[in-house]
Chain A
Amino acid sequence: MARVIEYAEAVKLALQHEMRRDDRVYCIGEDIVLGVPFGCTKGLIDEFGPARVLNAPISEAAIVGSAMGAAMTGLVPVVDMHFADFVTCAMDEVANQIAKSRYMFGGQIDCPLTLRMPYGIGRSGGGHHSNSVEAWFVNIPGLKVCIPSTPADVFGLLKTAIRDPDPVLVFEHRGLYRVTGEVPDDDAVVPLGRAEVKRPGRDVTVIATARMVHESLTAAERLASEGIDVEVLDPRSLVPLDRDALAASVARTHRVVIAEEGPMRGSTGAWLAWVVMEDSFDELDAPIARVAAPNVPIPFSPPLEAFVTPDADDVVAAARQVMKGA
């Protein structure tokens, strides 16, 4: 039954559904019994007990590594990374072990695990609690990466991630946890590799992820008053990527802005720009514009943080730029 709920609640509902559906599914992470700090896992222990909601020691390598050990011998772990920033303490486990094992072992093992990655800028988290690190993982063959922007998408994609026989990272922007939206009926899933047009438009395609989807929708309203009709396209999953949907949108609008929250250099947006160029070069009427953070760590002080945070203004400016001469 459809209902309007918060993003964090949608995460919890998806976990609940999958844990009910498959008793091999368990959650592991730091402070997940009380769901501190984002509340996504709070209360799960009441239904599923401590054997399936594991409050782990502060041992990121062991949390992520043990998830792989469990996944390759029959369980389906869902790891709460606490803050995606801390994945650096388990980077061997993600990049060398989880991503490569099926491949190196010639397909002998399944690694059906999900890494939930709360991430993103906001509320003066500072340099160790604010980073958009999805690009690191897009660059590691063997991982699937999705980045849902709405309660419905996180509900559907998290369920898909848990059912997927391969490792999937789900990037949950912590600034979205309190955003509300309609979640369709309980059985709804969102497949990986399926983009969604969040707002149709004729003049310019803004390819945006996570929080930048919302910023882009705000920008679109403002641009509408200037007579610029913006299409907001959310890839939803980065690996696999719905290249067809990108190409179809570009074929309609012929102008592209790519908006992300992470730093400009070596990023997801840089890669998406190449994808658009390779698939749709002849369709483009203007160079692609990008919105991203400057290449600095995320600073603490509110005005500094605001300065580096990409927002609707940046999307408006980029859209005006690609519309020049139109």
Chain B
Amino acid sequence: MNEPTGELLLEMYVRMLRVRLFEERARELFANARIPGFLHTSVGQEAVAVGVATALRRDDYILSTHRGHGHLVAKGGALRGLMAELYGKANGICHGKGGTMHIADVSVGYLGANGVLASGCVLAPGVGLSIRHRKSDQVVVTLFGDGAANRGPFHEGVNMAALWKLPVIFVCENNRWASTTAHALSTAGASARPAGGSIAARAAGYGIPGESVDGNDVLAVWRAVSRARARAAQGPSLIEAHTIRWVGHFEGDGQAYRGKDEVAEGRRTDPIARQAALLAERGLLDAAGADDMRRRMSAEIDDAVSHAEASPLPEPHEALTDLFAEWSWRE
């Protein structure tokens, strides 16, 4: 496997920053009641989304989670459609019918966030079957949290994909918590050490490669996913990426269940700062360049926000459309 070029290293930085700034803005908007619903963000976890997305082609697929904005932004989803969807506006990518937890953007292979944990694990083998049937060399990545890994669909999906050697990559984002429940208190085999890799170890039982990686190191994630992608024609892989969420499970979560040390640890291992340091070391980015980049990206996000603000809400009767291909509802 080739090491990433300077250009790709910079691209990883750009995408992580875009995810971070997008979600920081979404949090603000949520706090100001501009965005309805429950909002789960991935602040601190950007290296997983971006390590995955940069190891994929544009036509590869992602099945995502309730904490999925980062996956979509990293995969190249347009910010305007995404932000307008978070607002519930008519020209959101899903016309306001999906919202934060149920967004899809098929144009970039993003086959859907999911409000039901681990559901992507059983959709993925089918996407793999379709890839194989079409004799394509695409792959599908399904992401899920450490908590979701304890649901049955994880086991059914991994078993089926392994049995039929389907081009699926299972990526567990282990951020140590399933809402308020610690990983070690819900998962058999979890070691007291945060990055023990008990979920990756399950791969052995299915006879597939399993890797436990530092999910705050975008290069480590990129390498693992690139390896999995390169062998996808031989079957699935399971990757467990250890990361830290800096913010609440959802916006408004008081986080009484954890101390401040963990977030401090997260900030010390900030994947974006790490990537900036690496780029600086290689002479690929200086402070002025970084500032400039941040300004440009803020402008992109400003644009998405003004677009969402200016967009109309859906007409109420639009609630009756999109149910079936061509059929107007009557009953």
On A, residues with C-beta under 8 Å from B are 24, 26, 51, 56-57, 59-62, 64-75, 77, 92-93, 96-97, 100-110, 141-142, 144, 164-166, 239-241, 243, 275
Contacts and interface: CB of A to CB of B under 8 A. Distances in A.
A61 B129 contact: no
Given A59-B160, A166-B325, 8 more contacts: A57-B156, A61-B153, A65-B121, A66-B123, A69-B111, A74-B130, A105-B94, A240-B330
Nearest to B323: A103
Nearest to A141: B323
Given A59-B160, A73-B61, A103-B97, A65 B119 contact: yes
Given A57-B163, A109-B104, A73 B130 contact: yes
A62 B133 contact: no
Contact of B111 (A73, A93, A275): A73
A109 B104 CA distance: 9
Contacts of A241: 331
Contacts of B326: 165
Contacts of B114: 97
Contacts of A109: 104, 106, 111
A67 B126 contact: yes
A61 B127 contact: no
A105 B330 contact: no
Given A92-B116, A96-B119, A109-B106, A72 B111 contact: yes
Nearest to B140: A69
Interface string B267-280: 00000000000000
Contacts of A60: 156
Interface string B81-107: 000000000001111111000111110
A105 B106 contact: yes
Contacts, number: 158
Contact of B133 (A65, A75, A105): A75
Contact of B94 (A26, A93, A104, A165): A104
B119 A93 contact: yes
A22 to B, nearest CB: 12
A259 to B, nearest CB: 20
A317 B35 CA distance: 58
B163 to A, nearest CB: 6
B263 to A, nearest CB: 33
B322 A106 contact: yes
Closest 4 CB pairs between A and B? Answer: A69-B126, A65-B122, A66-B126, A106-B94
Contact of B104 (A56, A68, A108): A108
A241 B133 CA distance: 35
A39 B321 CA distance: 39
Contacts of B111: 69, 72-73, 109
7 contacts: A26-B133, A62-B160, A69-B111, A96-B115, A101-B112, A165-B324, A240-B327
Contact of A66 (B122, B134, B322): B122
B45 interface: no
Interface of B: 61, 63, 92-98, 102-106, 111-112, 114-116, 119, 121-131, 133-134, 140, 152-153, 156-157, 159-160, 163, 321-327, 330-331
A70 B325 contact: no
A70 B126 CA distance: 4
A292 B92 CA distance: 46
Given A62-B160, A107-B95, A241-B331, A75 B325 contact: no
B129 A243 contact: no
B126 A71 contact: yes
Contacts of B133: 24, 26, 51, 70, 74-75
A106 B85 CA distance: 10
Contacts of A57: 156, 159-160, 163
A25 to B, nearest CB: 11
A82 to B, nearest CB: 15
A70 B122 contact: no
A102 B323 contact: yes
A65 B127 CA distance: 10
B156 A61 contact: yes
A240 B327 CA distance: 9
A142 B327 CA distance: 11
Contact of B129 (A66, A101, A142, A239): A66
A104 B85 CA distance: 11
Contacts of B94: 104-106, 108
A240 B326 CA distance: 12
Contacts of B119: 65, 92-93, 96-97
Contacts of A107: 95, 321-322
A69 B116 contact: no
B102 A105 contact: yes
A37 B102 CA distance: 38
A19 to B, nearest CB: 13
Contact of B123 (A75, A97, A239): A97
A239 B124 CA distance: 29
Given A66-B122, A97-B116, A275-B331, A103 B127 contact: no
Given A72-B111, A73-B111, A106-B98, A61 B323 contact: no
Contacts of A164: 325
Contacts of B130: 69-70, 73-75
A146 to B, nearest CB: 14
Contacts of A24: 133
Among B61, B105, B331, max chain A CB count under 10 A is at B331
B225 to A, nearest CB: 19
Contacts of B159: 57, 59, 62
Contacts of A275: 331
Given A104-B98, A241-B331, A69 B160 contact: no
